[in-house]
Every structure is written in structure tokens, then in C-alpha cells.
Structure 1
Amino acid sequence: MKKGILVLIFILSFFSGKLLADGPVSWKMSIADKGNGEIELVANATVAPGWHLYDTQIPDGGPFPTSISIDEIKGAVAVGTFHAVNSKLHKDFDKVFEMEIGYFEKSATFVQKFKITDKSKFVLKGDIRAQACNDRECTPPIPIDFSFTSGSLPASVTVSTDAKEVQVTVSTDTIATVSTDSISQAQTTDSQNSDLWTPVIKELNEFGAKGSVSGRSLLYIFGAGFIGGLIALMTPCVWPMIPMTVSFFLKRNKKNRGKAIKDAIIYGLSIIVIYVLLGLLVTAIFGASALNDLSTSALFNLIFFGLLVFFAISFLGAFELVLPASWTNKIDSKADSTTGIISIFFMAFTLALVSFSCTGPIIGTLLVDAASSGDVIAPAIGMFAFAFALSIPFALFAIFPSLLESMPKSGGWLNSVKVVLGFLELALALKFLSVADLAYKWGILDREVFLVLWIIIFALLGLYLLGKLKFAHDSDLKYVSVPRLFMAIISLSFALYLVPGLWGAPLKSVSAFTPPLFTQDFNLYDGAVHAKFDDYEAGMEYAKMNNKPVMIDFSGFGCVNCRKMEASVWTDPRVKHSLENDYVLITLMVDDKEKLPEVIEVEENGKTTKLKTIGDKWSYLQRHKFGTNSQPYYVLLDNAGNPIGPSYAYDEDVEKYLNFLKIGVDNYKK
């Protein structure tokens, strides 16, 4: 009974432990005295057998090099480059990257030299990022933080007399500090370019806004939760419970049918309360700010990917995911020993525990989707919708008990529902792996690879529904029923629908799930819109020289609605023509994990914020200049960085979008 839970704990431990720790590489940081006022930061890496660690110098387009980032440095200056010493460097031609790449096995030592200028004030903080690979997989370049102060220095360290005269050459990511609330001062000293970062929130509000994203997001979560609840009803753990529970209420109150109906309604409300509390618990654990980061965090998306694959394997019949029997027995005894509303509540709790093996994967998937939407109340909304759908039959059959006789009997079809859900879980899991892959630019799940996997999954699902694929726990299928036939037709047709996508077809109906078109290596489709610039200042300079207005597209690799807009709105010939001819299109990815040349500190809401990546920079631009932080977000600007029309969020109405673009062009000409 506990086997599924133990496996789940193992999976969670594996993913969180592997990603939160160093993985196959363990690090040890120290400070060494090199004499004459010089020290070295020494990073010793121990590499697990079968794995290798990349060198600090990797050509462009290759894997992630081992690198250092200095967040704070006082009382010292960096000298020279971050490099490997006393380590055996292997060099081979990599067929995947088509270049010669250096790497280390078993162990490696990296150093960065510093010249001490003030021993008493010495502070050194930062991180080292490295990517380790074996023959099958690679780890993400997760930062390994280090922090040293004057007390960490060896007692023998002295300050040389020529410390202030030393010529310093720094190739590492040193820090730039900005004392004002304008990041532009860290980027350029040109006053005109500095104005491009000036907030225009008030001016933008005067134009108003088009489209909406939050309302649709919560509506989507509610709909997904409700559908999930209906699906849960048709699982082997819940379906047989409906007539049993309703019959119990009717027999319990034979002489008072009104009370039986009342008890059944309270039972349904108790189910809603239990699952809504679960949704609120997710928000309480993660917190509002963490939920906003889930949609692009590689760590969480990889954990979610692992969980969904785990749930899929459970649904396909490899094992049964159940809670310990002692939990169920304890709650069941509480229901027997109490009376009134409390007794009914514990009965509902018992249902939640008993049905966990079937509802757990559905709830887990729903909570993952709701949490990664970034809205704080989304988990509670999703759980409310799920529980609402789950509770409807209990109240409905209590009011109309004659309907119980027409319920389909339990049988092999319930197991088929679980298997179908298993295939769908596998397909959905790839979405979360894709988000992490895009955010960190690993390139392991390009669009055509994603589509190939989906085509295979849905083709196999269609064959299963036709009885051509059978699992060990399946009942013999004597004939194909009409519902199974129609579901098989839908699944196989969907698989065929995806095939043209291998050659670049936009596949608008699934564009929110598939990776963007630009990740596809072989693309015959020329209807996609590509941004002319992915850098704000460079794009604004080009627009000024060519006397054109600008459209800023705040987007993200993990932004579902961004992909929908690009596939369903931007591919319209009229929209495409306007974006390519009337505007200079600048797309800024707020979840781009590529590191900035310099770490930048800005003052925001009374706190110091560090911008380490390109995505950090564009996210700050959106918050600071435009007062919003949701994607997709489109804003039209003149050459001075002032708005020339309303902002636009998620709305797939092509005519509204065309009007939005026309307003900007007309105002720019004026």
C-alpha cells in the first residue's frame, strides 16, 4: 500500500537533491596567500565517475563554460582571468556542437587572482557556474555561491606597497553599482539614451490599455480544474463511491428525505472546503513572489516534469499511488465516532484519502499548472473548480435517487480512463521540460523534437483505444465501442495534424504548448514574424535613424499566451505587414538566463535589486518604465521612448490588434 508513496518520495528527493545540490560535481572554495599582497580564490571541483566538466574557454555556440561571477568586492581588485590550474585538460571534437571542446574528468581546480588593497575591509561574494555532462544528460549551470570576508583571509596576507599602482585586467563579471533608480546610468552616459529608461507610467495610463491577461488566466485555471474534477469522477477510485455514499445518506435518513438531501449537500461542500484548503496551502508554502517565478524556473519546471512523468507511470499501471492505510483508518474512525456536520466532514476527508491513487495525479497536475501561472489565488481557484465538479453527483443523486439506477456499472472502462490520462500526463510533462530548456537555452527539446514525441504519444493513445496496444492490467477488449472509436479517431487525427509542424507549419491550436518556431532547425514556413532586435537600446537607435515608431514586445520563453499571440495574431498577413513595415519590432525576453557583462544594482521600492541576467534587465525595464510585469505586453513608443498609443496585453482578436497598431502609426505621424 505504501509502495507508491515511497516511490514518490524517492522521485522528489532525487530531483530536488540533484538540482538543489551540486549534482555530479562537488565544490570546495578556499582562499590562498600567493605573497606580495596577492591572493587566489581556489575552487576545487570533484567530478563523479562518467561525468566531465567544461573548461572556462568555450567557443560561441558551445556548451556552458565554467565561469565566475563577482557580485560584491571590497578591499581588493581582480587580476587576470578565471582559469584552470594543475588539472588535466582533455580536448575532443564534439560532433553535436561541431567544435573542439576542452573538458575535465575526475577533478579540476580553478583560480581567480586578486590584489589586496585594504585587508580590514575585504569582502568577496559571488558564484561559480558550471555545466557537467555524461553520455546521456547534462546538468544546468546552477550557481555555487561563495562568500569571504577579512576574517577568511590567511593571517600571512599583507598589502603590498604597489597595490594602488597595479595594472588590473578583469575578464570576469564584475559588479557595477547604481545609486539612483535608473539602470540606464549603468549602461551609458549619453543623456538622450538615459531618457529611454525614464518612467512613462502616467502617460501610458492616459492612453488606456487593450486586452487582458489575468482574467483569462484565472478563467482557464477554473475551467481546467472543473474538467479535472469531471475526469476524476470517472476513475475507478471515485465512480464506485458515488452510489455507495448517496445510498448511505438515504438509508441514514429514511423517514426524512429532506435531511438526506441536506447531508449530501453538506458532504459536497465539505469536499470543496478540503480541496480549497489544499490550494491555499500551496500558496502559503510557496508565497506570492515564488509563484510568479515558477513559470520560468528551471528547477521547479524540471521537478514538475519529473512529477508528471511519475504520475503518468502510475496511471499506466506500473504501480499504485496510495496513501498509508493508517491515515484512512484514522479518518474513517473519526467519522464513526463523531456526529452531525463534523461526521460528514470526516466522511468527505475519507473520500479524499481513499481516492488519492486516482485523483492525486490529476490534482498534482492541476496544482502545477495553477502555480506556474504566477497568480497567487490560482491554486485555490483550481481546487475550488475541481472540488465543485467532484461534489456535484453526490448532491444531484441525493436529490434525484432514481438516477442511480441509470449509472453505468463499474468495469474495465474505468481502468481505460486511467491509461488515457497516463498518456495525457506524458504529453503535458514535456511542456514543463520545454520551459526549462528554453529559459536556459539548453537546446535539448527543439520544436521538431517536441512534436515528434507528441506525435508518438498520441498515435500510441489512438492504437490503445482501438485495442491494438494492451497493458498487463487491462481487461480483454471484445469489441471497440462507439465512444472509444471516436476518441481513437480524435487522437490519431491529432497526431496527423501535428506532422506538418515538423516542416514549420504554425499549428495554431497548440502553439501555447509547443516551443517557438525559432527553435526549429528545418523550417519551410515563412509566415512567422521575427523581431528585428532583441536589445532595447540598439532597437531604439535603429528606429531613430530610420524615422520609425517602435513596438516593444515583452515576452518570455515560458510564456504560454505569448506563443498564442505569435501563432494566432502575428501570422495574420495584415498584422505581419504592419509589424515588419510600419514598426521596428523589439522583443525582450524577461526570462532570458544569459548573464549580463556586469551585475547591476538598482534601487527599487526601497530595496536593492541585483540584475544578473538579460532577463532581469528587461523585466526591470518593464516594471520601472511601464509599471507592469505580466507577459505578453506590447507598448508603442516614439523615438524618445514616449508612448504613442495604449498598451496591449493578451487578446487574440486580430481586428483589435490591427486597430492598436493603427493608433500608434497615426499618432507617430502627428
Structure 2
Amino acid sequence: MRKLFIALTALISLQLTAQVEDPTDWTTSVEKISDTEYLLITEANIEPGWHVYSQAKGEKDEGPVATEFNFFGTEDFELVGINKETGTYAEYVEIWGMDVYQFANYARFEQKIRLTNPETEYIAVEAYFMVCDDTQCLPPSPESLIFKLDNSVSVVPDDVINAYYDAGAEPIKADGPKASTIKKKGDKHEKKDVDSDEDDEDDEEENKSLWTIFFGCLVAGILTLATPCVFPMIPMTVSFFTKQAGGRLQGVLYGVFILLIYVLFSLPFHLFESVSPDIFNEFSTNPWLNIFFFVVFIIFAISFFGAFEITMPNSLINKVDKASNVGGLIGVFFMALTLVLVSFSCTGPVIGAVLGSVLSTDGGATALTAGMAGFGFGLGIPFALFAIFPSWMNSLPKSGGWLNTVKVFLGFLELAFAFKFLSNADLVMQWHWIEREIFIAIWVAVFGALALYLFGKIKLPHDGPDQNISVGRMLLGLCSLVFSLYLLPGIWGAPLKLISGFPPPSTYSESPYGVGYKKSGGVTAAIELPEHAHFAVHDIIAFDDYEEGLAYAKEVNKPVLIDFTGWACVNCRKMEERVWAEPQILNILKNDVVLVSLYVDEKKALPKEEQYTSEFTQKRIRSVGNKWSDLQISRYQVNAQPYYALVDENGNDLKGVEQIGYTPDVDEYEKWLKEGVEQYK
């Protein structure tokens, strides 16, 4: 019985994977504004886990295929304004190294039109879109839409659209929103009657992110305690409170007020966000603001190194200090504010780092409040604890040169993060100042210099002449040295997964193949490419036409690996970068099979005489991508990418070798390839 159950489960799973996915449901409606103006509304319900993409394109027009709306018969009407969309949000996707603009669960589009022909009964539109989930992408496909201005008319959307194309009509593409107007994840709007667990998952992920920010800033606050501006204040402050009546309570309030002051600092940002919901997105992508942060961080770093001190005006500090003499709660509050102002030369750079880091997250003002609360908690609560348990003061280390070491250590971190902001600006503006190799080289130099400083080989202005190297300092120096050595191979093309997301992507570099290596040199220079072939990823010889690939396979007597892929397929890139790059896989792809990569989202139009209507889907096949998508669907009843099939030189499926989709397990993929090669032999 158990074996029968397993067999049935496997059979059901196979049937579920071998099917044509259709996770979207499109509907249209019309709102009349006046006798000549109408609002055309398109709504798409999207199955949970899937995403449709915005009309806004990503940086450099890369990323998933943007949704398009093509309007026919525009001699009878004109488009007014952009095709507005509701439900879209921006989310950073590591594989693209950029924000992706997408919908989840529900999408809504609104296009205003003005009639030039009052006899117009309907408007025909073709929506071209792509849909993906976490494991696969479906090929971009058109959706024929009809907007009825007169409900009495009866038309078939596909027939109308095909008739326009057959008549040689050229549609007009609607303008979509700009990427800068799209909110970050967490602010997206979804249809209220769509029941999905994804909302709860998003909320849970957002809460985790806020807690991560809180604890990260908590550590930063605790580190700031161990700086020359703050550490000497601990015994002075605690001693003051312990000598007062009710001093322990006042000490607790003192710590709480420090926390409160930093939280209050974040409140104006909530006002900014309410006025402009995408202000944090604009901050994080604005090149000039990133350059401003770069300059500020460089100044803070130089200050931490001891070149000068950044302090608040003495007049302000004196006024606040006088206010602390009032006594009571007000006096304690102003004492806390005095500490915040006096210690600004040490806390300011760290707060700047918190602010700059939070601007690059999706949490907006809420994330900033979480960060400031964490920092204030780490800085203020120890004062409260020492006031409650003054005997703990005996366990504190004595002031000394180690305080300046902590400050200089933070200065090196400020210096490293400064170049992240400059890199952000460089990527947005495409200046190519801080390409990947330069960025990594800078970090190698910064953390290498930090290691030399911690080992006592570099002296800075506030360091003592005969300062000993403690065990902790030596261990921290070793960590810095190891990290610097780890970064070094990145200059020559190593992936550096430990700092993934910080350096520019590998495509944004002087040498995408690594410093000192040119694709035109080495092994590939000695290889004569077959006719119609090209060098694909990892210099694999590949074809992008099915018939040409089969013809070459007959010449060399090898099986064919059909790779149904897409330019905007995230998991296709993951397979290429993480699976195909493995030596055992690469050896098979280069020597034992003929690779034919068929891009289902290739927009190149087929010649008029080669266009046809699919017998399987009944859709019009107009582009090269449509042709390869129709081949996959009609032959394998699957429309997801990546999808891999092994066939012989005549295009026949190899007996006993099933087709597979996204397979991140290298051993499993290697086993499948070897089975196919052996079966062919």
C-alpha cells in the first residue's frame, strides 16, 4: 500500500509539473467621464506566489519584461495621460542587482481616452506581459482585451486583434509610470477581496527586517559607548545619580530619555513620508544624495582618525546644560539631551551610518525609527542599568588608549561604507568611476590598512607612543587581515558571496571575465565557431535556432540539449551561474552535447510569411520568442522556464529521459545529463 501511495504521488506530481500554467485572469471595464472621455480599466487577478511586472522598466532596460498596452484603431480616439497602475511595488532582486517593479495578487491599470469619432463602439487593446514565481518564469505572452463603449456590441478579442495585424495596422503603445514613482515593498496596494497568505508572509518578513535593523543599531549603540566621548561620562553620570534622593529612578529615566531623544529624531521622517510616500525610494536612488552621504562619511572618517573634532556649538550645549539644573523630570531630560549633544563627535558618524543604511532598505520611516530606537537603547539603557546596579561599575575597564582604538576602528568602517554610496551614484549615472574591481580594491586597501593599524604598524594623531597590543586588538587585526585577503581574489573575478549586494555586479566591471582575462584570448581564440553558432555563458558553443542546432548535431553526432530560456528569466540565470559553472557540468556542456538556447521572450518579429496561428493555443505567432514558446507548449505542454530537454540529432526525445525544469542541485542535474548522453550512445 505504501509503495502504491508513493507511485501515485509521483504520478500526480509529474502531471502537475507537465502542464501549461495560466496564473492570471484579466478583465476589463469602462467608466464614462463625459460624452467624449472614458476611463478604460484593466484588472488582473494573479494567483498567489506569482508576479506580473510593471510598465516601468528597470535600470538600463534590464530585468523582467515590462508589461505593455498596445492600442489599436487610434484614428478614432486619442490617449490622455499615462496608463496609471495600482498595486505595483519595487523590490530589490539580487540576481539582477537592481529594483524590480512588480505586482502580486492583483494589478489594476487605468487609461483615459478622448474620442475623435463619436461612433466608436469598442476599443481593442493587446496587453503584453510576463509572469514569474520563485522557481519559474512563463514566456511573455499577449492578452487580447476589448473595452466596450457600447455594451450591445458582440466581438471576439482575438479575432479583432488578428484582423488589425492582418490589415497591417500599427498599434500605439501607452505610456506607463516612471520607476521613481513606484513604492518600495511594504507599501504595495492589493485588492482587498483577494484572500492570500502572502500578506501575512510579507508582514512577517517586514517584521524580521525591522528586528534586524533594531538589533544591528543596538550593537552600534553599544559600540559607541566604548568611545572617548561617551565612556568617561558613565562613571560621572552614575555617581551623580547615586548621590541623589531617588537617584536610581532618575538614572533609569535618564537612560529612557536618551532612547526617547533618538526616537524623536526619526519622527520628522514620518511626516516627509506622508507627504511623499516614495521619498525614501527617491533618497536611495538619488545620485546626488548618495554623493552627499559619501562626502559626509569621508569627513566623519577623517574626524575619527583624529584630524579634527566635529562638535555641536558650545552656545547650544551651554543652554541645554543650564536647563538641566531645573531638577525633576525636566532636568533629567535636559541632562540626557546634554549627553547627546556633547557626545555628537563620536555618535554623529554612527548615526549618519544608521541613517544612510536605512535609506537603502524597504522600511522607510518605520525602519528609521526602529534603527534609532535600537541605537538609543544600546547607548542609553546601560546608563540606567549602572544606576540600578552601581556595583557593576567595578567591572568596567579603565579609560585608556583602547578608547581611541575603538574610535579609529569605527573610522575605517565609515571609510569603507562611504564608497558604497559613491558606488550607488556611479551605478545610477553609469559614469563607470567605481566599477567592481575598483570598489573591491578600495575595500582591500581599507581593511588591510585597518589590520596594519590594529597590529600597531600605523600610528594616528591620538595614539600613544608606546601603546601595547592587547589580545583582543590582535584578534580583531587578524579578522581584518583575513577579510582583506578574502576580498583580494574578487579583483580577478571571484564571486565574494560574503559581501553580495555591496560591490557593483560583475557585469559592471572593466573585465567581466576577471582582471587579466579577455574573452577574445585564451582557449576561445583557438576554437573555430561552427556556422550560426556563438559563444554563450562560460564560453559554451551554443545555437539560438532549433533547426541550425539539429543540423550541427548531425555533423558531430551528438545529442542536443534544448534550453528553453528567456532574457528576463531569473532562474535561468541562476542555473547558468550556479550550476552550469560547476566543472563537471561545464565539461558535459562543452564536449558531450550541442546546446540550443531558445529565448521565449525574444521580441524580434518573424517575417510576415512565417507568422502563423498556433494549433495548440490558437494564438497568433508573430515573434521569434512566440515561435519557441509555441514549440515548447505544443511539444511538452509546459510553458515555464527554464526547461531542459535532451533529443537526438533528428529532434526525437531520448527514450527514457524525461525533461526537467529548474534544478539547482548540481548532482541531480549532472545525473540527468549523463543519463541522456549514455542513452544517446
Deviation at 1:334, TM superposition (A): 0.7
* Gap change, CA 1:391 and 1:582, over 3 Å in 2: farther
Q: Counterpart in 2 of 1:153?
A: none
Counterpart of 2:218 in structure 1: which amino acid?
Answer: F
1:262 aligned onto 2:249:
yes
Q: Counterpart in 1 of 2:579?
A: 573
Distance, in Å, in 2 between the alignment partners of 1:490 and 1:381 is 29
Distance, in Å, in 2 between the alignment partners of 1:423 and 1:468 is 15
In the alignment, is the contact (CA less than 8 A) between 1:331 and 1:350 conserved in 2? yes
1:351 aligned onto 2:339:
yes
Deviation at 1:330, TM superposition (A): 0.6
1:481 aligned onto 2:473:
no
Deviation at 1:521, TM superposition (A): 2.8
Q: Counterpart in 1 of 2:349?
A: 361
Deviation track 1:403-428 (CA, whole Å, cap 9, x = no partner) reads: 11221111111111111111110100
SS of the equivalent of 2:361 reads coil
Q: Counterpart in 2 of 1:279?
A: 266
Deviation track 1:510-541 (CA, whole Å, cap 9, x = no partner) reads: 11211111123335579xxx999xxxxxxxxx
Deviation track 1:7-39 (CA, whole Å, cap 9, x = no partner) reads: xxxxxxxxxxxxxxxxxxxxxxxxxxxxxxxxx
Aligned match for 2:212, one of 202, 211, 220: 220
Q: Counterpart in 1 of 2:239?
A: 247
Pairs within 5 Å for 1:86-485: 179=112, 193=142, 214-253=206-245, 259-285=246-272, 287-337=276-326, 339-376=327-364, 377-485=366-474
Distance, in Å, in 1 between the alignment partners of 2:244 and 2:663 is 60
In the alignment, is the contact (CA less than 8 A) between 2:255 and 2:384 conserved in 1? yes
TM-score, structure 1 normalization: 0.51
Counterpart of 2:354 in structure 1: which amino acid?
Answer: L
Deviation at 1:230, TM superposition (A): 1.0
In the alignment, is the contact (CA less than 8 A) between 1:246 and 1:394 conserved in 2? yes
RMSD: 4.7
User: Where does structure 1 lack aligned partners over 5 or more consecutive residues?
Assistant: 1-176, 254-258, 533-545, 556-564, 588-637, 646-655, 663-670
Deviation at 1:436, TM superposition (A): 1.2
Counterpart of 2:495 in structure 1: which amino acid?
Answer: P
Distance, in Å, in 2 between the alignment partners of 1:183 and 1:467 is 74
The answer to which of 214-223 and 349-358 deviates more is 214-223
Deviation at 1:570, TM superposition (A): 8.2
Deviation at 1:644, TM superposition (A): 7.3
Distance, in Å, in 1 between the alignment partners of 2:597 and 2:345 is 56
Counterpart of 1:351 in structure 2: which amino acid?
Answer: L
SS of the equivalent of 1:242 reads helix
Counterpart of 2:221 in structure 1: which amino acid?
Answer: G
* Gap change, CA 1:335 and 1:207, over 3 Å in 2: closer
In the alignment, is the contact (CA less than 8 A) between 2:283 and 2:289 conserved in 1? yes
* Gap change, CA 1:319 and 1:251, over 3 Å in 2: same
Deviation track 1:494-518 (CA, whole Å, cap 9, x = no partner) reads: 1110111111111111112111111
In the alignment, is the contact (CA less than 8 A) between 1:224 and 1:366 conserved in 2? no
The answer to which of 397-406 and 381-390 deviates more is 397-406
Distance, in Å, in 1 between the alignment partners of 2:321 and 2:639 is 63
* Gap change, CA 1:455 and 1:184, over 3 Å in 2: farther
Counterpart of 1:264 in structure 2: which amino acid?
Answer: G
In the alignment, is the contact (CA less than 8 A) between 2:126 and 2:142 conserved in 1? no
Deviation track 1:448-490 (CA, whole Å, cap 9, x = no partner) reads: 0001111111111111111110112211234211011001101
SS of the equivalent of 1:300 reads helix
Counterpart of 2:301 in structure 1: which amino acid?
Answer: A
Distance, in Å, in 1 between the alignment partners of 2:475 and 2:596 is 46
In the alignment, is the contact (CA less than 8 A) between 1:575 and 1:658 conserved in 2? no
Distance, in Å, in 1 between the alignment partners of 2:597 and 2:253 is 60
Q: Counterpart in 1 of 2:645?
A: none
**Matched positions, count:** 390
Distance, in Å, in 2 between the alignment partners of 1:394 and 1:427 is 31
In the alignment, is the contact (CA less than 8 A) between 1:270 and 1:345 conserved in 2? yes
TM-score, structure 2 normalization: 0.50
Distance, in Å, in 2 between the alignment partners of 1:308 and 1:277 is 23
Deviation at 1:283, TM superposition (A): 3.7
* Gap change, CA 1:405 and 1:644, over 3 Å in 2: same
In the alignment, is the contact (CA less than 8 A) between 2:452 and 2:458 conserved in 1? yes
Deviation track 1:202-239 (CA, whole Å, cap 9, x = no partner) reads: 79976958887534432332122112101110111110
Larger RCO, structures 1/2 (Cα 8 Å, 6+ apart)? 1
Distance, in Å, in 1 between the alignment partners of 2:424 and 2:297 is 14
* Gap change, CA 1:480 and 1:362, over 3 Å in 2: same
Q: Counterpart in 2 of 1:498?
A: 487
Higher Cα Rg, which structure: 2
Deviation track 1:330-373 (CA, whole Å, cap 9, x = no partner) reads: 11111102x32111111111110110111011011111111232
Deviation at 1:178, TM superposition (A): 6.6
In the alignment, is the contact (CA less than 8 A) between 1:548 and 1:639 conserved in 2? no
Counterpart of 1:494 in structure 2: which amino acid?
Answer: F
Distance, in Å, in 2 between the alignment partners of 1:483 and 1:452 is 27
Deviation at 1:318, TM superposition (A): 1.4
SS of the equivalent of 2:507 reads helix
Distance, in Å, in 2 between the alignment partners of 1:585 and 1:489 is 50
In the alignment, is the contact (CA less than 8 A) between 1:548 and 1:582 conserved in 2? yes
